[in-house]
Amino acid sequence: MVAQIKMTEENDASPKVKAVYEDIKKTFGMPIVPNLFKAMGSNADYLQATWNQFKSVMGAGELTRREKELVALAVSATSNCQYCICAHTAALRGLGL
């Protein structure tokens, strides 16, 4: 049996989840919420905590966002995570690389 994860779409999300989704779209400059975050939408507190951690790690710091995405892409390639490779490649393209 294959495990299935229910994606919480924006129109089905609670107000708290919708607020996080809006922040995700604004931060990424995207019209949609990535599936990674939709998979967490059934647990608003977990989604919020994960999103806050993501912003903390990928936000302003010693490395630029582009440098952080390059590191994330290298880790994704090393671990052979196709979803992550696609996501970080798209992020890098969005950053002009």
pLDDT-based confidence at residue 1 (cuts at 50, 70, 90): confident
Question: Taking all residues of the chain, what is their mean pLDDT, rounded to a whole number?
Answer: 93
Closest C-alpha to 48, from 81, 73, 76, 13 = 13
Percentage of the chain modeled with pLDDT above 70: 100
Task: For 26-68, write each residue's pLDDT tens digit.
Answer: 988 889 999 999 999 999 999 999 999 999 999 889 999 999 9
User: What pLDDT score was predicted for residue 23?
Assistant: 97
Instruction: Say if pTM beats, i.e. exceeds, 0.75.
Output: yes
Side-chain half-sphere CA neighbours of 70 within 13 A: 8
pLDDT-based confidence at residue 95 (cuts at 50, 70, 90): confident
Hey, how many other C-beta atoms are within 10 angstroms of the C-beta on 62? 6
- Distance (Å, rounded) from C-alpha 47 to C-alpha 36? 10
User: What pLDDT score was predicted for residue 59?
Assistant: 87
Give the angle subtended at the CA of 28 by the CAs of 78 and 64, to the nearest 5°: 60
